[in-house]
Amino acid sequence: MQIIDGIPVFGTSPDEGALKQARVCAAMPETAHVALMADHHKGYAVPIGGVVAYRDHISPSGVGFDIGCGNKAVMTDVRGPEVRQYIQKIMDDIWKNVAFGIGRKNAEEVDHELFNLPVWQDQKFIGGLKDMARTQLGTVGSGNHYVDIFTDEEDRVWVGVHFGSRGLGHKIATEFLARSGAKDGMDVEPAVIATNTNLGQDYIQAMQLGGAYSYAGRDWVCQKIVKDILGGSILEEVHNHHNFAWREYHGGESLWVVRKGATPAFPGQKGFVGGSMGENSVILEGVTPDSSDEDCEIAMLQAEALFSTVHGAGRVMGRMEAKGKYKNGVCVREPKVSAAKWKDWMKGIELRGGGLDESPDCYKRLPEVLREQGDTVRVLHTLAPIGVAMAGKDIYDPYGD
């Protein structure tokens, strides 16, 4: 870790666009602390991989459009040989039963107790989103969102998913960004709202609904795949948001900690962090330091990160850079990612959907990113993908993380 202009930055090669955004966040009077995780890159107003803390404010720009986006991984009682034998059919069944893409509806109605929460009546705007939210619960979306089948070091089968609050979260974010006077553009001050105002309380209530909705969707997809497609049971689950805000205590004071593309990693807290398409992912845990000199340094790093870690490998290439630009069927800008190399990356993995803009060439390598984060976390399991399902190459998500 290095300190740049008072900002703790994990990673040996800081992204200048993200660092510029972090400086803007840090200069705002409402901000108490800013840090960049090792997978940081430029986002909308607040860098992805950024952690920004406020004493009595919250930021819809920091939480972002995909409120509650996160990862869930479940270990099953199914073994690797059983799945590898039928992986083509398994991935076909996932592709048929789980909806991928923007604005998609679930093929089956999913009921959930969250639809009984008071927020649907408390805020008229939220109530108007209820029917859409019902139809989209359990849909995965596009961009870098996925459903993966993994095996671990003991050849146990895991199911991993990455997605968030779908249209509900996007519309909540859009509404509150407008109501808080957010500026247009990427390199602007993030919108912040005082939490002791009606607007602030309304946003917190709506954000927490988006978080509950995200959890419910990931729960449904994992259960659907394990029970109905794999014919197994869930033995263990690891579930975490990485686009959210929590009220936490740090350095003796109470703060609203906004993590945008950053995973909470308190001592003993487990997290699921995905690699790029076709590469290994990990189950990790926040380290519990003792009183040794080395562990004192770990504790210092954890405090600087506000007990946060990476949420993925981190992009190094934009989507349009990766897949090139075409006009009337004619290439006007060559893609930077080779289709042949992408297919080479995916050898031995059963793929549904995906595209050049999600090739591992577009990302850093996850083991390197984890090393750059220091010894604040330890890897419990390494998960190797044998099946990957994502939205197709023609689906573009302008707000995908």
CATH number at residue 106: 3.90.1860.10
Q: Which domain holds residue 61?
A: 2-392
The amino acid at residue 185 is G
Encoding tokens for residue 249? 């205590």
Contact (Cβ atoms closer than 8 angstroms) between residue 282 and residue 271: no
Report which secondary-structure segment, H or E, holds 147: strand 146-151
pLDDT, tens digit, 9 for 90 and up, residues 170-201 = 999 999 999 999 999 999 999 999 999 999 99
pLDDT, tens digit, 9 for 90 and up, residues 318-377 = 888 888 878 887 887 888 888 888 888 899 999 999 888 888 888 999 999 999 999 999
Closest C-alpha to 164, from 216, 94, 237, 223:
216
Give mean pLDDT, residues 223-242: 97
pLDDT, tens digit, 9 for 90 and up, residues 97-151 = 998 877 777 777 788 999 999 999 999 999 999 999 999 999 998 888 999 999 9
Q: pLDDT band for 393, please (50, 70, 90 cuts).
A: low
Does 155 reside within a domain?
yes
Give mean pLDDT, residues 254-283: 96
Does 401 reside within a domain?
no
Give mean pLDDT, residues 56-74: 97
- Kindly report whether the global pTM for this prediction surpasses the value 0.85: yes
The residue behind tokens 């209530």 is: 205
Percentage of the chain beyond pLDDT 70 is: 98
pLDDT of residue 9: 97
Q: Is the pLDDT of residue 47 over 50?
A: yes
What total number of domains does the chain contain? 1
Cα–Cα separations (whole angstroms), residue 296 to 11, 101, 284: 20, 46, 20
Does 367 reside within a domain?
yes
Does 336 reside within a domain?
yes
Does 127 reside within a domain?
yes
Closest C-alpha to 142, from 393, 317, 318, 343:
393
Does 35 reside within a domain?
yes
Does 397 reside within a domain?
no
In 76-146, where does DSSP find H-type helix?
80-85, 87-97, 119-122, 124-127, 130-136
